[in-house]
């Protein structure tokens, strides 16, 4: 004989599961914000009809356009006021309201220039980034030699050609500088030289050949 209490509990659990699934689906749906209002929508339809009529004048279209702008401003102001009022009454604060009402997105937040002034515009942020990379001497790439062992640098400067099978692929010219430069080595020391390799491929080729032999 079937237990009526058991069947009732099964039906209750099934109904509860369906209600929870429906609640989750409903909560996940994002409502589309109405930014212009119903009154403005009706006026826009009316303006479209006037534009299709040959008898309509520019003044009529201009007047209805002004009315549309006024309706949009009133709707926006009312929406913002209602949103702020709702959050004040429900939570007592306006922080969440301002977050929901924010219409623009920060490109990079808290970007500051040399004067510790926060910059928000894209052009200003690009200028700050450009000044930063210019200060790190990224443009003087010839003098930013990679960290290599001292003997590899000395070998590249002294030899006419790199000790590799594909020596013809790499140039052998070196450029003489008026003032010697310092090259930072991997061991932390500095090597002074007045010769700058025209292409860094010579050093790279020696490093590759050295690692292959070792």
CA gap 73, 78 in Å, rounded: 9
Q: What is the pLDDT of residue 88?
A: 86
**Inter-residue contact 207 to 152 (CB < 8 Å):** yes
Q: What is the pTM of this model?
A: 0.39
Does 7 fall in a domain? no
Does 166 fall in a domain? yes
Does 17 fall in a domain? no
Which residue has 């590799």 as its token pair? 164
Q: What is the pLDDT of residue 12?
A: 82
CA gap 82, 85 in Å, rounded: 5
Q: What is the pLDDT of residue 125?
A: 77
Domains identified in the chain, total number = 3
Does 123 fall in a domain? yes
Q: What is the dihedral of CA 156, 153, 198, 144, to 10 degrees?
A: 170
DSSP 61-73: HHHHHHHHHHHHH
Does 196 fall in a domain? yes
Question: 127 with 181, same domain?
Answer: no
Domain closes at, from 45, 74, 101: 101
Q: What is the pLDDT of residue 130?
A: 76
Q: What is the pLDDT of residue 27?
A: 54
Question: 64 with 115, same domain?
Answer: no
Does 11 fall in a domain? no
CA gap 176, 173 in Å, rounded: 10
Does 8 fall in a domain? no
The residues near 196 (Cβ < 8 Å, ≥ 6 apart) are 142, 174, 175, 176, 177, 181
Does 77 fall in a domain? yes
Question: 145 with 206, same domain?
Answer: yes
DSSP 90-105: HHS-SHHHHHHH--S-
Question: 82 with 146, same domain?
Answer: no
**Domain containing residue 97:** 36-101
Q: pLDDT means per 10 residues in the chain (214 residues)? A: 67 84 62 77 90 83 91 90 86 81 70 74 78 60 47 57 44 47 58 49 46 42
């Amino acid at each position: 004989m079937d237990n009526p209490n058991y069947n009732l509990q099964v039906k209750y659990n099934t109904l509860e599961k369906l209600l929870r699934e429906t609640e989750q689906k409903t909560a996940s749906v994002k409502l589309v914000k109405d930014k212009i209002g119903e009154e403005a929508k009706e006026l826009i339809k009316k303006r479209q009809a006037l534009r299709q009529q040959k008898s309509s004048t520019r003044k009529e279209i201009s007047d209805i356009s002004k009315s549309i702008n006024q309706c949009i401003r009133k709707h926006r102001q009312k929406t913002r006021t209602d949103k702020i009022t709702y959050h004040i009454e429900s939570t007592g604060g306006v922080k969440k309201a301002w977050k929901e009402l924010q219409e623009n997105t920060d490109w990079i937040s808290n970007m500051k220039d040399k004067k510790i002034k926060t910059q928000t515009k894209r052009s200003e942020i690009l200028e700050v980034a450009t000044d930063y990379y210019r200060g790190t001497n990224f443009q003087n790439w010839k003098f930013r030699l990679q960290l290599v062992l001292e003997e590899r640098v000395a070998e590249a400067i002294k030899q006419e050609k790199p000790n590799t099978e594909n020596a013809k692929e790499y140039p052998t010219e070196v450029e003489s500088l008026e003032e010697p430069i310092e090259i930072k080595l991997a061991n932390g020391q500095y090597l002074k030289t007045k010769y700058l390799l025209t292409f860094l491929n010579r050093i790279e080729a020696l490093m590759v050949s050295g690692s292959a032999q070792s």
